[in-house]
Structure 1
Amino acid sequence: MKNINFNKTQSYQKLNNHFKKIKDIHLKDFFLKNPNRFKEFSIVFEDEMLIDFSKNRINENTLMHLLNLAEETNVKSAIKLMFSGFKINQTENRPVLHIALRNRTNNPIMVNNRNIMLEVNRELEKMKDFSKLVINGIWKGYTGKTISDVVNIGIGGSDLGPYMVTEALRPYKNHLNMHFVSNIDATHINEVLKKINPEQTIFLIASKTFTTDETITNAYTAKKWFLNFVKDKSMLKKHFFALSANVQNALDFEIDINNIFKFWDWVGGRFSLWSSAGLSIVLSIGFDNFKKFLDGAHAMDNHFYYTDNNKNIPILLALISIWYSNFFNCETESILPYDQNMHRFSAYLQQANMESNGKSVNRMGQKISYQTGPIIWGEPGTNGQHAFYQLIHQGTKLIPCDFIASVFSHNDFDDHHLKLISNFFAQTKALAFGNSYDILSSELNLSTQNDYSIDSMSPFKICYGNQPTNSILIRKINPYNLGSLIALYEHKIFVQGYILNIFSFDQWGVEIGKKLSQNIYNYLNSNTTQKCYDSSTQGLITFYKSFIS
């Protein structure tokens, strides 16, 4: 990919000058000046999803300069490189082709002169066949009983993505009980093992390399637990499965060759839920629903690839994010899904974004002088309103927020959903426009707090607004629309990383802790008294050892 001097581009300089002119303009003034603002600053995707970005601190000129930045950096050429299989993950010398996993067409995608779609579709067929056997009760455990429980053992992308999706699509799940184990803390796997019967449980060990310490440690614990009941290793083939790019390591773990579901080194872990790493999703909602999930993502892929920049949802949201992080100096973004089933969506995007764009050197290996990845955080629904919204409304931080909700609920009891949506609309309005002194005066006059004057109370009660939000309103959270939504954010992350001139698809910062933890593990496991670490680390180790020696 081309190298970009982000803050040396002409567009950056123009944006910087423009920022000085509009940084103090209130959102309410933008709306007063342009009665058509909502229409001009919103996009409908396939009559299923409305993206309203009108409550952002931008105007027509901001958008023009941001779009010029996309043109000057030639975002479209980068998109074409990714979709063509070019090795854009240059530090690992790999293409980035999670888009191929939901292609599901006869259109070839070539990697090293091989049409990878043949392999992708073959693996999808294997997932379909196996899931039908399990769901329909044909696949039996070692005593001949049907399978009732599925345990997915993974971490990072092999856990967060599948767990998030199976939770978000709970209304579509079947009779199988889904469990997810990620933490190396023995409590996590122990609590799951307490709930399951070895006769009726299958274990999915999801690890791209099949070397991830947390996953393999938990997998060995599960295997040991299982063999304590069965005593016969030949029965492992009825209960243990690998989801991995490393077939040999899976075989070394004694996974039967027919029980290995492959994916490839061009699939990043945090983008792997579309592959066999998402087998737990297939088992939870069935293959037909999984196909719809893939199709929704593919529809967003096509939108991203073919749509002009000025109507391209991922590109626009990426540009707006760059506007806040590098001109307003916002350090965080909050993701706020108003849907309880999407309670892991913020955590999923936290990994997808922060592991991708949490970089401080550019594609030339030089230190960066501007902000790259934002800190992503959030909670579902009105829970957040009674926790951290206070800071967003009246604190000293500017925090852009994405609000996500559905028009139709899967659980339409009484007026619950109407109240939920009312909160959604009210919060974005309150954040944008705040409350005026006149409104506050009226409220105080009607209250019983006659001991306090309006002027004495107003500093504490007034909310100035001017807090930016995007609103994403989805007809219904179904497999297709969820697929589209996830792909939207994937592509937004890619565009941000590309324009900011970083490699979004490696994660070398994750590796340092892994290597060091292994060294410390070996040190703790030894009888040596030699001091090998800094005074703080050595002090912690000495204190720990004083209890276990």
Structure 2
Amino acid sequence: MINWNNLDSLNSYKKMLSLAGQVKLADVLDAARVRAYECPMAAGLVYNYAAKAVNEQILTVLQELSQEQQLVEKYRALLEGAVINTGENRKVLHQLARGQLGADVIYEGKNMRSFYVEQQKNIAAFAKKVHAGEIKGSTGESFSTVVQIGIGGSDLGPRALYLALEHWAVKAGVKKMDARFISNVDPDDGAAVLSSVDLAKTLFILVSKSGTTQETLANELFVKDALKKAGLDPAKHMIAVTSETSPLANNPGYLTSFYMDDFIGGRYSSSSAVGGAVLSLAFGSDAFDSFLKGASAADKTALEPDIRKNPALLDALIGVYERNALKMPSTAILPYSQALSRFPAHLQQTDMESNGKQVNRRGEKVDYETGPVLLGEPGTNGQHSFFQLLHQGTD
């Protein structure tokens, strides 16, 4: 039986708090520690935590915390369709969009994995027709650019992934189309994007699960107005990513629609049609399929009970220790690859929107820190701006 207890009620959590301040990195960080404090990730990557203020005793207690809080069991329940989002009485199924690691998840007679795969196949078929010139704009010209209109998770994740993969795609010879993104309701955002593209050769993706997101619909109207002024038919330049029950579904105002559902939250939606449509159009469906396989492989590592073989769980537990035992109020995400320039913003949403809670699943007040403030910027620029405070400030 799974118990959903607050962390501060657990013996292992209290033990963890008592270990604060044991490690001074300046005294212990050397080449041997760098070699020893690493954990294999999916796809041959490695998570190195040598610069985290933990030692063997702290890691042992974090393992106890994982077991006492039944974290892997809870993750397995999520994989098999348990109602994890009790506030909205919803399953949490973003992992099913990239692979299946548990039993079939059936909802109202529908196999949810099959539903997500069907959407991926539909997107792949559409993208191939666009690339082959079988689907054209209203002037008969082939599409060369795709623009995603969304906000929050409909923008941050797909944008971060596009930028991360763009130069790889060029070098690998798989880039099919340029991609742009419009998210800010300030018309300067949309105007800047529209001025940089050839509207006659541009395909727009409107992303709104409900079909009623005000900021996204405002930007849609802005784009449609520009298309009409250019003498173009908006219905031949727009597709929708939405839910099957939204006003955008099967709407003649769009070339086609692809579907998502309420079990995939926006911040986790990049592996659904939200990311699939724009990435498949930009890089081809094979590239998006490879991304999904890598994400599923990472999901699989999160089932490992040994935290030293489970990089996601290990990093999360160290984060709990840093925030609650060491009282660190923030976490800096500092990619040194320019391709990852928007990764901090994406991770900021996935972490802070998830952990920004004051009550538990029963509506009871939480009396400990649920997460840090995430901030970030590519590291090279960061070194010449806010690193000064991080390294030499008084906090």
User: Under TM normalisation by the shorter chain, which class is it?
Assistant: over 0.9
Alpha-carbon distance in structure 1 between the residues aligned to 2:394 and 2:121: 53
CA distance change for structure 1 residues 106 and 305 in 2, over 3 Å: closer, same or farther? closer
In the alignment, which of 107, 110, 129 is matched to residue 106 of structure 2?
110
1:259 aligned to 2:260?
Answer: no
Alpha-carbon distance in structure 2 between the residues aligned to 1:119 and 1:166: 24
1:150 aligned to 2:146?
Answer: yes
Deviation at 1:360, TM superposition (A): 1.3
Deviation at 1:191, TM superposition (A): 1.5
AA at the equivalent of 1:263: M
Select between 99-108 and 42-51 the one with higher mean Cα deviation: 99-108
In the alignment, which of 89, 113, 116 is matched to residue 93 of structure 1?
89
Deviation at 1:89, TM superposition (A): 0.6
Which digits, 9 at most, give the CA deviation of each residue in 1:213-253, with x for residues without a partner?
1101101121222223337xxx4442111101154410596
Which digits, 9 at most, give the CA deviation of each residue in 1:461-484, with x for residues without a partner?
xxxxxxxxxxxxxxxxxxxxxxxx
Contact residue 343 and residue 379 of structure 1 kept, 8 A: yes
In the alignment, which of 354, 366, 374 is matched to residue 372 of structure 2?
374
Deviation at 1:390, TM superposition (A): 1.1
Provide the residue aligned with 1:2 in structure 2: 3
CA distance change for structure 1 residues 105 and 135 in 2, over 3 Å: closer, same or farther? farther
Contact residue 320 and residue 371 of structure 2 kept, 8 A: no
Query: What does 1:390-469 correspond to in 2, within 5 Å?
Result: 390-397=388-395
Deviation at 1:25, TM superposition (A): 4.1
CA distance change for structure 1 residues 250 and 290 in 2, over 3 Å: closer, same or farther? same
1:224 aligned to 2:225?
Answer: yes
Alpha-carbon distance in structure 2 between the residues aligned to 1:113 and 1:88: 20
Alpha-carbon distance in structure 1 between the residues aligned to 2:23 and 2:41: 30
Alpha-carbon distance in structure 2 between the residues aligned to 1:227 and 1:391: 50
Deviation at 1:306, TM superposition (A): 4.0
Contact residue 237 and residue 259 of structure 1 kept, 8 A: no
AA at the equivalent of 2:336: Y
In the alignment, which of 258, 278, 303 is matched to residue 301 of structure 2?
303
Provide the residue aligned with 2:166 in structure 1: 170
Deviation at 1:135, TM superposition (A): 2.2
Alpha-carbon distance in structure 1 between the residues aligned to 2:253 and 2:176: 26
1:70 aligned to 2:71?
Answer: no
Deviation at 1:308, TM superposition (A): 2.8
CA distance change for structure 1 residues 253 and 222 in 2, over 3 Å: closer, same or farther? farther
Contact residue 40 and residue 311 of structure 2 kept, 8 A: no
In the alignment, which of 257, 261, 269 is matched to residue 266 of structure 2?
269
Contact residue 137 and residue 146 of structure 1 kept, 8 A: yes
Alpha-carbon distance in structure 1 between the residues aligned to 2:218 and 2:243: 18
Gaps of 5+ in 2: none
Contact residue 340 and residue 378 of structure 2 kept, 8 A: yes
Aligned residues: 388
1:285 aligned to 2:283?
Answer: yes
Alpha-carbon distance in structure 2 between the residues aligned to 1:367 and 1:336: 33
AA at the equivalent of 2:341: H
Query: What does 1:350-369 correspond to in 2, within 5 Å?
Result: 350-369=348-367
Deviation at 1:254, TM superposition (A): 4.5
Aligned to 2:139, the other structure's residue is in SS state coil
1:384 aligned to 2:382?
Answer: yes
Select between 132-141 and 317-326 the one with higher mean Cα deviation: 132-141
Deviation at 1:29, TM superposition (A): 3.2
Runs of 4+ aligned structure 1 residues displaced above 6 Å come to 104-107
Aligned to 2:220, the other structure's residue is in SS state helix
Gaps of 5+ in 1: 398-549
AA at the equivalent of 2:269: S
AA at the equivalent of 1:148: S
Contact residue 141 and residue 147 of structure 1 kept, 8 A: yes
AA at the equivalent of 1:380: P
Aligned to 2:206, the other structure's residue is in SS state strand
Contact residue 17 and residue 321 of structure 2 kept, 8 A: no
Aligned to 1:18, the other structure's residue is in SS state coil
CA distance change for structure 1 residues 238 and 104 in 2, over 3 Å: closer, same or farther? farther
Aligned to 1:133, the other structure's residue is in SS state helix
Which digits, 9 at most, give the CA deviation of each residue in 1:180-238, with x for residues without a partner?
0000101111122222333211110011111111101101121222223337xxx4442
Provide the residue aligned with 2:205 in structure 1: 204
Which digits, 9 at most, give the CA deviation of each residue in 1:389-434, with x for residues without a partner?
111211123xxxxxxxxxxxxxxxxxxxxxxxxxxxxxxxxxxxxx
AA at the equivalent of 2:183: S
Provide the residue aligned with 2:157 in structure 1: 161
TM-score, normalization by structure 2? 0.92
Alpha-carbon distance in structure 1 between the residues aligned to 2:100 and 2:6: 37
Contact residue 15 and residue 61 of structure 2 kept, 8 A: yes
Deviation at 1:157, TM superposition (A): 0.3
Contact residue 151 and residue 202 of structure 1 kept, 8 A: yes
TM-score, normalization by structure 1? 0.67
Query: What does 1:178-193 correspond to in 2, within 5 Å?
Result: 178-193=179-194
Provide the residue aligned with 1:316 in structure 2: 314
Percent identity, please: 35
1:347 aligned to 2:348?
Answer: no
AA at the equivalent of 1:159: D
CA distance change for structure 1 residues 246 and 183 in 2, over 3 Å: closer, same or farther? farther
Contact residue 242 and residue 255 of structure 1 kept, 8 A: no
Contact residue 43 and residue 294 of structure 2 kept, 8 A: no
Aligned to 1:244, the other structure's residue is in SS state strand
Provide the residue aligned with 2:79 in structure 1: 83
Deviation at 1:28, TM superposition (A): 3.7
Deviation at 1:78, TM superposition (A): 0.6
Deviation at 1:14, TM superposition (A): 1.3
Contact residue 250 and residue 257 of structure 2 kept, 8 A: no
Query: What does 1:4-19 correspond to in 2, within 5 Å?
Result: 4-19=5-20
CA distance change for structure 1 residues 248 and 390 in 2, over 3 Å: closer, same or farther? closer
Alpha-carbon distance in structure 2 between the residues aligned to 1:130 and 1:237: 16
AA at the equivalent of 2:361: R
CA distance change for structure 1 residues 90 and 350 in 2, over 3 Å: closer, same or farther? same
AA at the equivalent of 2:291: F
Alpha-carbon distance in structure 1 between the residues aligned to 2:130 and 2:42: 34
